[in-house]
Amino acid sequence: MTNESAQEEWRQLFDAAPIRPGTFATMSGIPLAPVYGPSSAEFPGVYPYTRGVHASMYRTKLWTMRMFAGFGTATDTNIRFREIIRAGGTGLSTAFDMPTLLGLDSDDPMSLGEVGRCGVAIDSLADVRDLFAGIDLGTITTSMTINSPAAVMLALFVAQAEESGVTRDQLGGTLQNDILKEYQAQKEFVFPPRQSMRLVRDTIAFTAAEMPKWNSISVSGYHIREAGSTAAEELAFTLANGFAYVELARQAGLEVDAVAPRLSFFFNAHIDFFEEIAKYRAARRLWAKWMKDHYNARDPKSWQLRFHTQTAGVSLTAQQPEINIARTAIEALAGVLGGTQSLHTNSMDEALALPSEKAARIALRTQQIIASETNVVNVADPLGGSWFVEELTDEMEREAEVIFAQIAKMGEGSMLEGCIRGIEENWFQGRISDSAYELERSFNSGERVVVGVNAFQEGNDEDDLATLRITNADEHKQLARLSQVRADRDDDQVRTAIERLTREAGDPELNLMPALIDAAKAYVTVGEMMSALADVFGRHVEVPSL
Amino acid sequence: MNVRVLVAKVGLDGHDRGIKVVARLLRDAGMEVVYTGLFQTPESVAAAAIQEDVDVVGLSMLSGAHMTLAPLVVEALRQRGSEIPVVLGGIVPPQDLEELRELGVTAVFGPGASAAEIVTTIAGIVSHSL
């Protein structure tokens, strides 16, 4: 065994790491080591990274407090973004409305009633400009939660940055761009799976070549779990999707070490505290092993699974909404003890509406309490070595390997093919809805208790929480903005850009990003770009199944 | 009595966990359930409800578009001369309940509704309208 050298390797990495100012002792003055465990243990910062991707973990840098926000028009959301930054948020994450997520303009007939409702409405470059007005994109990293139109949104973002004098190579941030889990769980798809994967390939290749600070995909288990999967399914489906993207990039001629370090992950923090922590630990170990052994990655950065965490929206209750603050705090703590790199905490009112400003501030304060008051940040992987947590970590790993084998079998050895066939055959969707149904039955039978729902209901009628109201006025404002853009732009330029896009979409060898960026600069709208692509790619229709 | 229910997702909202779970729970309660899939329009739901001769239409909406879309489904049914009652479940804030009822939505199940409540209410609506 090489455990002696694991401890030695950790020591060298730790000694080389910058340490943030602070006292690393308990409240009563007992000094704390950066990590605990016998020399035979695994160590953080050392392969297979079960205990964390960094040797010094939160002693160097706390997690990014990245609050997800977006509603109404770009101007409305810009105000909320600045509010988050003023309150101490250290990263931004953009929530788009349903029409934008599905690549439709605000004036599309299908968009009626949905504009600006559950995210910000973005139709063109003009909206992206207003969204980030007055925000220094050089110091704040930006995450954009969008999938089917991810390539289009990346093009708009690059166009906006270049217009304001920021070059591509300076841009830091993350595009969710995880289309596989859309078919499996979140269901915001436009094109058929294989055509969508071409766009993912194009964004991977483009960012690898031109945007060194950009994370091309945030491989997301969050939505898989929210759709009803178990923790092990969330873990396994997500990592399998990650393997699929690595295989996709290899097909496009990219080395695994050029791609894997730019993949980040996004997991749910549900209410079963220890199971979640075990899930994060197993995720790191599995990714490291698969990258090294199956995909022959040689750069340690390829082995290191970095992840964002969001507390579980589905665990929140409409009854006695204030008690959701407690649920979210416990879930957030699991994310931190599990070694997350960034965290979004849900607001207490999210079973009812988009968060009010006050509810969002309390959610951020919850993270700040964990970071500043509890002292849990002083020691890396504080639960490592617990017989219970170690065994649960091993069990998560075993369950995930069983699921990997099933997916590989569907793909005849290829995880990429297995993921796509699993989608086409409704395998993922069926497993997720079976798990959701089983869980619901355990709530209905009373086998599982949800406070305020099937137990402890006193106080349920005292609900007078002020929630955020989004009126039709926002929709009208956005429609006016869009018609102004259409009136002001050069129609010849628009036509030329769309013709080029359609032509290049027909040639699968070409990378579509340059054509998309040109279209963005010509004020071609999101809906027009997506519709031009759909003319070539077709549209996906899910076969309804219960 | 054989109760037939059409459950439907109208508009752009892809959240289908709730509708699938509720559909199975209704089946467990002995009802026949038809599901037409994602991204339906008010017109397509009304046409399917009439063609399938259902007793109730159940909509599931979690994207905040319910104030616009749920009344449009009611309207599309009435325009076709159908009196099939429409119920709604999802993320519906309590402030919206009264207006939804005025606009013809027979019952609303908020985010805290139990399976028993949904089954009992639908059975009650059907026996009432027969």
Per-residue pLDDT of B25-43, as tens digits, reads: 999 999 999 999 999 999 9
Tell whether B81 is within 8 A of chain A (Cβ).
no
Using CB atoms and an 8 Å cut-off, which of residues 15-54 of chain A contact chain B?
Answer: none
Chain A residues with CB under 8 Å of B110 CB are 318
Q: Which pTM was predicted? A: 0.96
In the predicted structure, residue A139 carries a pLDDT above the cut 80: no
Instruction: Please report the ipTM that was assigned to this predicted complex.
Output: 0.94
Task: Copy the structure tokens of residue A457.
Answer: 């209901």
In the predicted structure, residue A245 carries a pLDDT above the cut 60: yes
Tell whether A346 is within 8 A of chain B (Cβ).
no
Using the Cα atoms of residue A241, residue A247, residue A249 and residue A251 in order, give the sign of their dihedral: negative
Using CB atoms and an 8 Å cut-off, which of residues 105-134 of chain A contact chain B?
Answer: 110-114, 117-118
Domain residue ranges in chain A: 60-373+380-444, 481-537
Per-residue pLDDT of A370-397, as tens digits, reads: 999 999 999 999 999 999 999 999 999 9
In the predicted structure, residue A262 carries a pLDDT above the cut 50: yes
Tell whether B112 is within 8 A of chain A (Cβ).
yes
Pick from B10, B12, B22 the residue to mutate for testing the A interface (most A CBs within 10 Å). Answer: B12
Fold for the domain defined by A60-373+380-444: TIM Barrel (3.20.20)
Per-residue pLDDT of A316-367, as tens digits, reads: 999 999 999 999 999 999 999 999 999 999 999 999 888 998 999 999 999 9
Say if residues A332 and A345 touch (Cβ distance below 8 Å). Answer: yes
In the predicted structure, residue B93 carries a pLDDT above the cut 90: no
In the predicted structure, residue A1 carries a pLDDT above the cut 60: no
Pairwise CA distance, residues B50 & B109, whole Å: 23
Say if residues A335 and A309 touch (Cβ distance below 8 Å). Answer: yes
Pairwise CA distance, residues A454 & A434, whole Å: 22
- Interface touch B115/A444, C-beta < 8 Å: yes
Tell whether A465 is within 8 A of chain B (Cβ).
no
More confident residue, A294 or A545: A294
Q: CB-CB: which of B24, B27, B65 is closest to A113?
A: B65
C-alpha A454: how far from chain center: 31
More confident residue, B57 or A459: B57
Per-residue pLDDT of A427-485, as tens digits, reads: 999 999 999 999 999 999 999 999 999 999 998 877 678 888 877 888 999 999 999 99
Phi-psi region of A472 (alpha: psi -120 to 50; beta: other; left: phi over 0): alpha
Count the neighbouring beta carbons within 10 Å of the beta carbon of residue B9.
Answer: 26
Tell whether A542 is within 8 A of chain B (Cβ).
yes
- Interface touch B38/A544, C-beta < 8 Å: yes
Q: Residue B94's pLDDT is what?
A: 85
Per-residue pLDDT of B94-130, as tens digits, reads: 889 999 999 999 999 988 888 889 999 999 999 887 6
Chain A residues with CB under 8 Å of B12 CB are 98-99, 101-102, 104, 110-111, 114
**pLDDT, mean over chain A:** 95
Task: Report the range of poorest mean pLDDT among A63-72, A227-236, A533-542.
Answer: A63-72
Q: What percent of chain A has a predicted confidence (pLDDT) above 70?
A: 99
Task: Copy the structure tokens of residue A8.
Answer: 């030695």
Task: Copy the structure tokens of residue B69.
Answer: 């879309």
Using CB atoms and an 8 Å cut-off, which of residues 80-109 of chain A contact chain B?
Answer: 98-99, 101-102, 104
Please name the residues in contact with A132: beta carbons below 8 A apart, sequence gap of 6 or more.
A78, A81, A142, A160
Nearest to residue A533, comparing CAs of A513, A542, A541, A522? A513
Chain B residues with CB under 8 Å of A442 CB are none
Pairwise CA distance, residues A144 & A220, whole Å: 13
- Interface touch B11/A114, C-beta < 8 Å: yes
Please tell me which residue of chain A has the smallest CA distance to B27: A546
Which of 3.40.640.10, 3.40.225.10, 3.40.1710.10, 3.40.50.280 would CATH assign to domain B4-129?
Answer: 3.40.50.280
Q: CB-CB: which of A102, A444, A546 is closest to B23?
A: A546
Say if residues B68 and A113 touch (Cβ distance below 8 Å). Answer: yes
Q: Residue A467's pLDDT is what?
A: 85
Q: How many CB pairs under 8 A join A and B?
A: 112
Please tell me which residue of chain B has the smallest CA distance to A188: B14
Say if residues B37 and B9 touch (Cβ distance below 8 Å). Answer: yes
Nearest to residue A104, comparing CAs of A119, A89, A93, A94? A119
Read off the pLDDT of each residue in A54-66 and give the average, rounded to a whole number.
95
More confident residue, B63 or A201: A201
Per-residue pLDDT of A91-124, as tens digits, reads: 888 999 999 999 999 999 999 999 998 899 999 9
Nearest to residue B64, comparing CAs of A467, A545, A360? A467
Please tell me which residue of chain A has the smallest CA distance to B23: A546
Task: Quote the strand ranges of B9-101, DSSP E.
Answer: 32-35, 56-61, 86-90
Nearest to residue B19, comparing CAs of B32, B36, B31? B36
Q: Residue B1's pLDDT is what?
A: 64
In the predicted structure, residue A181 carries a pLDDT above the cut 80: yes
Q: CB-CB: which of B14, B41, B65 is closest to A117?
A: B65
More confident residue, A488 or A546: A488
Please tell me which residue of chain B has the smallest CA distance to A440: B21
First vs last C-alpha separation in chain A? 50
* Neighbouring-strand partners of residue A145: A95
Task: Report the range of poorest mean pLDDT among A51-55, A93-97, B54-58.
Answer: A93-97
Please tell me which residue of chain B has the smallest CA distance to A118: B63
